[in-house]
Amino acid sequence: MNNFARRFIRMRLFLGGAGLELLDEDAGKKEATQLERAKPGTCSKK
């Protein structure tokens, strides 16, 4: 089981802030594979 979190920043006129949103495993894997820095691993390939 993997844990995934999304960082976000709210830009508002008087009150802004940052936060984390927890994602379920399927949504987290889907978003992680779309990142430029995500690469498929070769550890389990034989």
Taking only the tens place, the pLDDT of each residue in 19-38 is 999 999 998 888 888 877 76
CA torsion 35-39-43-46 (nearest 10°) is: 130
User: Do residues 27 and 6 lie in contact, with contact meaning Cβ atoms separated by under 8 Å?
Assistant: no
Q: Is residue 46 part of a domain?
A: no
Question: 29 is in which domain, residue-wise?
Answer: 4-33
pTM to 2 decimal places: 0.51
41 belongs to a structural domain: no
Give the gyration radius of the chain's Cα atoms. 15
- Report yes or no on 42 lying in a domain: no
Nearest Cα to Cα of residue 25 among 5, 46, 45: 5
8 located within any domain: yes
* Counted domains in the chain: 1
Q: Which amino acid is at 20?
A: L
In a domain, 16, yes or no: yes
Show Cβ contacts of residue 17 under 8 Å, excluding neighbours closer than 6 positions: 9, 10
Q: pLDDT-based confidence at 46, cuts 50/70/90? A: low
